[in-house]
Amino acid sequence: MPRITAARVIVTCPGRNLVTLKIETDEGVYGLGDATLNGRELAVVSYLQDHVVPCLIGRDAHRIEDIWQYLYKGAYWRRGPVTMSAIAAVDVALWDIKGKVANLPVYQLLGGAARDKCMVYGHANGRDIEETLDDARRHAEEGFKAIRLQSGVPGLAATYGVAKNGQRYEPADAALPSESLWSTSKYLRSVPDLFAAGRETLGWDVHLLHDIHHRLTPIEAGRLGKDLEPYRPFWLEDPTPAENQATFRLIRQHTTAPIAVGETFNSIWDAKQLIEEQLIDYIRATVVHAGGITHLRRIAALADLYQVRTGCHGATDV
């Protein structure tokens, strides 16, 4: 059995702070786990270095479930994005070690492949609808079968979710959270025009997605979903803050537009009611922030019982 002899936290990309945990064993096998938490990366670094790494030394690297439960329950303070991102890094690194020892890719240890391909979507965004559609055409030409449409809102100087100066969109765009003025009424008027133009330009063989970024109240989200129904959105992401899961009932009462949520979730408890009441269609929890492979499998298994699909997010905007 490989014993953990060392664990090191590696921070790269100064200013952006991409965080990796490297766990080493006495058999010379090491594993890597991502611990990047957008905008709060260094908090996870401290949590790992000060509170988690000392707990790992000497433990059997194969006892993944035991170590997961120890880190989750032993800390007394459970859940939260910092804790669960740290646990996720350990969990993925341990699965990496197990796969290397077994000389098998981790997906084989989890039961093998269920499909040969996985659909992904590209981000098309621009300062206005025309610029967004130009970007969408490029994604379609590259072969993307699903494209997320985000456009600047007329009358607003800046819109969260729209990249600046031709750069790729990055959710953690500054050391401190960016602030900007917002107008829900202008936004609600602009998105149906964006989708109408998107369908006219791209046709009906491309899936169109949109991220609301928690901006709306439930009734506003229901109204937007109903306005977009003629354009058959693949999903509307994060329509309203999800701390109160029951509020999604109101959205469901007013629209059949599929709903995706969960990139900011860090445990199964954040999604339990949403899944059990089938208030969402896609769960977006990520392996990096939701406790690693071990815990994300639990979320996916619960979702499967209620025909809620997975559309997992990544550490940054993957």
Q: How confident is the model at residue 202 (pLDDT cuts 50, 70, 90)?
A: very high
Given this model, what pLDDT does residue 177 score? 74
Q: Which residues contact 35 (CB under 8 A, 6 or more apart)?
A: 9, 19, 20, 21, 41, 44, 45, 48, 85, 86, 88, 89, 288
- Say what the pLDDT of residue 42 is: 93
For the cut 90, the answer to whether the pLDDT of residue 160 exceeds it is: no
Mean pLDDT of 72-93: 95
Question: How large is the average pLDDT for residues 33-58?
Answer: 95
Active site residues: 160, 213
Query: Is the pLDDT at 281 greater than 90, yes or no?
Result: yes
Are 146 and 209 in contact, with CB atoms under 8 Å apart? yes
Q: Look at residue 174 in the predicted model and tell me its pLDDT.
A: 65
Q: Name the residue with tokens 């290397």.
A: 100
Q: Has residue 9 got a pLDDT over 80?
A: yes
In this prediction, residue 143 carries a pLDDT of 96
Check whether 81 has a pLDDT greater than 90. yes
pLDDT, average across residues 198-219: 97
CA distance 226 to 258: 11
Dist CA 84 CA 203 (whole Å):
41
Q: pLDDT tens, 218-276? A: 999 999 999 999 999 999 999 999 999 999 999 999 999 999 999 999 999 999 999 99
Average pLDDT, the chain: 93
Q: Residues with Cβ < 8 Å from 317, sequence gap 6 or more?
A: 123, 168, 169, 170, 171
pLDDT (0 to 100) of residue 316: 62
Q: Are 90 and 71 in contact (CB under 8 A)?
A: yes
Residue 318 pLDDT greater than 60, yes or no: no
Q: What is the mean pLDDT of residues 1-19?
A: 92
Q: With 60 as the cut, is the pLDDT of residue 317 above it?
A: no
Is the pLDDT reported for residue 159 higher than 80? Answer: yes
Backbone angles phi, psi at 109, to 5 degrees: -70, -25
pLDDT value at position 169?
63
Ordered by where they begin, the domains of the chain are 4-109 (3.30.390.10), 121-310 (3.20.20.120)
170 pLDDT exceeds 70?
Answer: no
**What are the angstrom distances between the C-alpha of 175 and each of 15, 16, 66, 178, 183?**
7, 8, 36, 9, 25
- Using one digit for the tens of pLDDT, what is the confidence trace for 96-117? 999 999 999 999 999 999 999 9
CA–CA distance, 214 with 147 (Å, rounded to integer): 20
- Mean pLDDT on 134-162: 93
